[in-house]
Structure 1
């Protein structure tokens, strides 16, 4: 998925993000505001993931929403 689409429609995608990663709070989602790097950083922080694993999870998620 083109990340610009996610960023431009963040409010629509944020519910799906919260479903995928339940530890993210509404405040986290507001801070992320569609920024992929911030999302990956929050995943590292909340889930204790390595940078490459956070990136992989975001890639997998973005591929899954492409099929929606």
Structure 2
């Protein structure tokens, strides 16, 4: 997956991300700004996941988004 493309489409993708991970706020998604490491950190914080679990969930979700 190409995170440059995801960063470029971030505002378009925020709705889908919010549907998938409803505990993330608009402000948090704005703060993440398409950065995978920041998104992983927010998911770890909100859902109590390990970094590996967060990365796995992110990769699965974005696999078909680029």
Q: Which range, TM-score by smaller chain? A: over 0.9
Give the CA RMSD over aligned residues: 1.0
- Distance apart, 1:65 and its partner CA: 2.8
Query: Segments of 4+ in structure 1 off by > 3 A?
Result: none
Unaligned runs of 5+ in 1: none
Q: Which fold has the larger relative contact order, with Cα–Cα distance below 8 Å and residues 6 or more apart in sequence? A: 2
Distance in 1, matches of 2:19 and 2:3, equals 19
Unaligned runs of 5+ in 2: none
Q: TM-score of the superposition, structure 2-length normalised? A: 0.93
Give the total of aligned pairs: 66
Distance in 2, matches of 1:53 and 1:6, equals 20
